[in-house]
Structure 1
Amino acid sequence: MGKIWLPFASYNLWSLFAPAIGQEHWHCDMKRGYTKVRKREPDVAAILAEDSVPQRIGLLAQQGIYEFHADPCRLKNADGVTQVSEILKLNQESEQVRERLMRILTQYYENPVLCGKQIFSLSRGDEGFPEPIKLYCENTAFHLFAAIDCILLEPDGTLHILDLKTGHSDFDERQAFVYLLAASYLFPRQRAIASFYNLELCKWSEPVTATASQLNAVRIELARLAQQHDVEKKLYRKNPAEFDRIFPPTFGFRCQRCQFNSICQFSVQEISA
């Protein structure tokens, strides 16, 4: 018997509904429609199959940290950075990706922040979707997806959920709350905290904790978003011609950085000064 399908939620879906603080000027709800609803259509699938430069850098950086710790000798060998760059096949990447990854790998080699810490789990970043967590809210159920980069075990037994970042965007506390909600179900008897570390800026966030009432509020919000997204997805499948009404575009200068601008009829390709 196959798995029962349920509406789903994740930090990614939440961010597509409501962008992080400071990113509002790039938000367009039609992106959610393309990314989450029309993703199997050939022209959309082809775009989604190609990582953007920031996505590529984030994925390779995660893989690089994984490879350093898969064989800790690489952090001691003089050619450790070269070894990892060869494993990642950086010579096949664009110049921009290659240069930024080499800086990230070199900085981590010189300051390996996970060394000396008890690593409970460390993702390579390309394992695919994690197993969903089934959550309930009133009379409805939904699946929560939470792909966690790294979990550390602190000396007092606290689970420390760590998300590795690249780029210059500010940390979004909502992501930490989603991870803490997931941890409350995966490890119900253990205290958990969450934090972010930017591999390019070599910057830690403040640790994030959550009370039971805060986690419950996050659960309720994710359940609401899961249900709303499910309704809108079904509306589109019944009425494909209503796509722009169900997922309204916000066009203008933001179109220049949208990955779907080549297929979106609302895309503004050139904006006069």
Structure 2
Amino acid sequence: MSQNWLPFASYNLWLQFSPQIGKEHLHCDMKRGFTKARSREPAVAAILASDSTPQQIGLVAQKGVYEFHQNPHLLYQEDGVEQIAEILELQKESDLVQQRAIQILKNYQQNPILAEKRIIKLSRGDESYPDPILIKQGNQSWKFYAAIDCIFAEEDDTLHILDFKTGHSDFDLRQAYIYLLAASYLYPEQKAVASFYNLESSKWSKPISATSNTLKAFQIELTLIAQRHQEHLRRYRENSADFSQIFPPNPGVSCRYCLFNSICDFSILEVST
């Protein structure tokens, strides 16, 4: 099989298969169908091309951290936040995004957690997908995507993979282990840990490490997800009429927050009176 047509997996795909604990009631597999199987349809593509407000805030926050470290003197200037806001052209964003972003920039200027770190990689947030890691598990091969926000080196040269969060996003340990799995391929000779940092609450998780057996287990799970997803895509290509059977909906409270509620045949939205 050509590498271009290999199955793939990522944290995002796993999240679309299996939600975080406590959020099962919000999970709908049909979202994966729209995102992965029908993404080229004009109505779906238009929705995917427009970021939601939480996505916009997360992206602006990531860009803000990046620009502070491109212009580190602004971390210590009184008007540093205003200058970063100009660089990011925040005036083009909605009032809500602007307000949240300005507070995030102020938080970071007051507590620039990377200022004294030896940064190895810092993403701006709007780059294209990273090159995939080719994984071979048994007789299966698949492409592994891991978009990492930041990597810095601790004093003992341990790699520290840091993922930025905003809003009320919970820390999902699966994501940390997936990043550590990626690090085991990208930096096989180096010890690594992973953590999460919320740019709005300034909450930093404890460093997370993983044994080789744990990483093997996660690789096996991702292999299964890649295979299942590829099979679902194959079934949909062969019979698109079976869309709702292949990607079953979960109509209910989740519809209120779904990007696709305007085009979904199963959407249930509360009607205010």
The normalised TM-score by structure 2 is 0.97
Letter of the structure 2 residue corresponding to residue 134 of structure 1: L
- Retained in 2: the 8 A contact 1:253–1:271? no
Shift of 1:5: 2.2
Question: Residues of 2 paired with 1:4 and 1:66: CA distance?
Answer: 32
1:66 matched residue in structure 2:
66
- Retained in 2: the 8 A contact 1:119–1:151? yes
1:76 matched residue in structure 2:
76
- Retained in 2: the 8 A contact 1:161–1:193? yes
2:92 matched residue in structure 1:
92
2:49 matched residue in structure 1:
49
Question: Residues of 2 paired with 1:18 and 1:110: CA distance?
Answer: 37
Letter of the structure 2 residue corresponding to residue 138 of structure 1: G
1:254 matched residue in structure 2:
254
Letter of the structure 1 residue corresponding to residue 216 of structure 2: N
Shift of 1:22: 2.3
* Counterparts in 2 of 1:196 and 1:151: CA distance versus 1, 3 Å: same
Residue 266 in structure 1 maps to residue 269 in structure 2:
no
* Counterparts in 2 of 1:58 and 1:182: CA distance versus 1, 3 Å: same
1:115-173 deviation per Cα after TM superposition (whole angstroms, max 9, x unaligned): 11111110001111000000011100000000000001011010000001101121000
Give the CA RMSD over aligned residues: 1.3
Question: Residues of 2 paired with 1:225 and 1:122: CA distance?
Answer: 28
The DSSP-based 3-state class of the residue aligned with 2:220 is helix
1:35-83 deviation per Cα after TM superposition (whole angstroms, max 9, x unaligned): 1111111100000000000000001100000000001011111111001
2:228 matched residue in structure 1:
228
The DSSP-based 3-state class of the residue aligned with 1:120 is strand
Question: Residues of 1 paired with 2:199 and 2:26: CA distance?
Answer: 24
Letter of the structure 1 residue corresponding to residue 118 of structure 2: Q
2:215 matched residue in structure 1:
215
1:56-115 deviation per Cα after TM superposition (whole angstroms, max 9, x unaligned): 000110000000000101111111100110111111111111100000001101111111
1:160 matched residue in structure 2:
160
Unaligned runs of 5+ in 2: none
Question: Residues of 1 paired with 2:32 and 2:131: CA distance?
Answer: 22
- Retained in 2: the 8 A contact 1:252–1:271? no
Q: Which moved more, 1:3-12 or 1:27-36?
A: 3-12
2:192 matched residue in structure 1:
192
The DSSP-based 3-state class of the residue aligned with 1:195 is strand
* Counterparts in 2 of 1:103 and 1:181: CA distance versus 1, 3 Å: same
The DSSP-based 3-state class of the residue aligned with 1:228 is helix
Shift of 1:272: 8.3
Question: Residues of 1 paired with 2:231 and 2:184: CA distance?
Answer: 28
Query: Identity, % of aligned pairs?
Result: 58
The DSSP-based 3-state class of the residue aligned with 1:78 is coil
1:130 matched residue in structure 2:
130
Letter of the structure 1 residue corresponding to residue 227 of structure 2: Q
- Retained in 2: the 8 A contact 1:132–1:146? yes
- Retained in 2: the 8 A contact 1:161–1:179? yes
The DSSP-based 3-state class of the residue aligned with 2:128 is coil
